[in-house]
């Protein structure tokens, strides 16, 4: 389908007025329209040299001295404090390390251990990313609780004095639906339970407000909108008021109050440090620290505003460039219910995405019939958005 001058012109004007447009230069990009940052963020330009320094100088020359002289030992908390403002948390409440799955396990078991003995039920988002469900099921078995999957819409009616803790996703990974973190957290607290949130698809894309809304614990990955690189370490948030009660099911030596005393008896360190487990993954961790520098001077509110503008414009372009009924948007229209992605249902989605990627538009496919497009406002522009919709239209009518 040929370019529509009106949409192309509007895209050019929107890009010219975009205050975040210069941030694109902070990333290694080419002429591909990259709409898969909700799976793996683009490489920040400063990361390769930083990693080279870590390998060649810090590891190669300083060797073991780098645990102290290069700040390796304190990296999990230091980097946690870099992430904190992006999720609305004060310093001293986030520790970086391990994977999202491991941190979900820590948070859920710790939450159950904090709950009253009579609270024998664990609720989990029935629409969650599979790993969260697997971990929740294992945590329930280990702690002698019953696991009950419920949708976020069903949650308020499912809460009771039996509920120990609830695990929810802030943004649904398939549809891009944004769930009501403030309202659901308040409902969970009103029932006397603890709220654990998975922020994988929201951190770095929209305001979260962990402290403001009284979230108890939260976990998230760093390789999506935070651009930390493939397999970069995840993070764990524990609200300050709960830290002295946080009883980790994985009390590794680096979370000990005196790790180098090598005591046979475990004594947890104070604060966020007790969320640590084993020796930090320094190479990935310091790559993440470098990647987070792209956020210097960037407002999360401005990122959210651009995200909504991009996804609005994409939907407008898709409507203009595709035949009626050829695709169905499964992402909610209202801004209050939308994350930073658009999911389109399409009967031949797998083949369509393969052909889109061949033509220079990279999104992804979710079984069985969903085309998923992630919009990372730090480096995606409006011309990218128009081009992606136009090429999609051409493939669907070809």
Q: Which of 27, 34, 105, 129 is catalytic?
A: 129
Peptide bond into 261 cis (omega under 30): no
Q: 145 an active-site residue?
A: no
Q: 173 an active-site residue?
A: no
Q: Which of 125, 172, 198, 364 is catalytic?
A: 198
Distance (Å, whole) CA 314 – CA 342: 8
Q: Which of 145, 372, 387, 390 is catalytic?
A: 372
Q: 223 an active-site residue?
A: yes
Q: Which of 34, 173, 223, 235 is catalytic?
A: 223
Q: 105 an active-site residue?
A: no
Instruction: Give the pairing type, strands 121-125 and 146-150.
Output: parallel
Phi, psi of 18, rounded to the nearest 5 degrees: -80, 115
Cα torsion 230, 274, 76, 71 to 10°: value is: -150
Q: 224 an active-site residue?
A: yes
Catalytic residue numbers read: 129, 198, 223-224, 372
């Amino acid at each position: 389908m040929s370019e529509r001058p009106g949409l192309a012109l509007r895209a050019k004007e929107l890009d010219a007025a975009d205050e975040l447009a210069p941030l694109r230069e902070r990333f290694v990009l080419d002429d591909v329209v990259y709409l898969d940052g909700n799976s793996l963020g683009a490489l920040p330009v400063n990361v390769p040299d930083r990693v080279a320094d870590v390998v060649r100088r810090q590891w190669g020359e300083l060797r073991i001295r780098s645990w102290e002289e290069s700040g390796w030992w304190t990296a999990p908390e230091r980097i946690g404090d870099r992430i904190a403002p992006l999720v609305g948390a004060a310093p001293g409440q986030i520790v970086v390390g391990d994977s999202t799955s491991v941190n979900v396990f820590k948070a859920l078991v710790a939450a159950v251990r904090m709950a009253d003995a009579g609270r024998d039920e664990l609720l989990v988002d029935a629409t969650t990313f599979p790993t969260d469900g697997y971990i929740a099921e294992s945590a329930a078995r280990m702690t002698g609780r019953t696991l009950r999957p419920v949708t976020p819409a069903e949650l308020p009616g499912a809460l009771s004095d039996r509920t120990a803790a609830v695990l929810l996703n802030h943004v649904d990974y398939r549809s891009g639906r944004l769930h009501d973190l403030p309202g659901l957290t308040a409902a969970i607290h009103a029932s006397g339970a603890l709220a654990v949130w998975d922020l994988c698809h929201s951190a770095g894309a929209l305001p979260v407000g962990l402290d403001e809304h009284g979230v108890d614990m939260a976990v998230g990955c760093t390789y999506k909108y935070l651009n930390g690189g493939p397999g970069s370490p995840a993070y764990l948030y524990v609200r300050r008021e709960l830290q002295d009660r946080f009883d980790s099911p994985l009390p590794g030596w680096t979370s000990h109050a005196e790790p180098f005393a090598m005591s046979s008896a475990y004594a947890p360190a104070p604060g966020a440090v007790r969320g640590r487990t084993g020796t930090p993954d320094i190479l990935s961790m310091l790559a993440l620290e470098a990647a987070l520098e792209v956020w210097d001077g960037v407002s999360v509110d401005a990122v959210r505003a651009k995200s909504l503008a991009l996804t609005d414009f994409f939907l407008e372009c898709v409507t203009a460039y595709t035949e009626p009924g050829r695709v169905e948007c499964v992402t909610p229209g209202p801004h209050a219910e939308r994350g930073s992605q658009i999911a389109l249902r399409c009967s031949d989605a797998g083949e369509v995405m393969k052909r889109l990627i061949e033509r220079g538009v990279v999104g992804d496919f979710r079984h069985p019939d969903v085309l998923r497009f992630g919009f990372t406002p730090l480096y995606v522009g409006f011309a990218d958005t128009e081009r992606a919709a136009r090429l999609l239209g051409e493939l669907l009518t070809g």
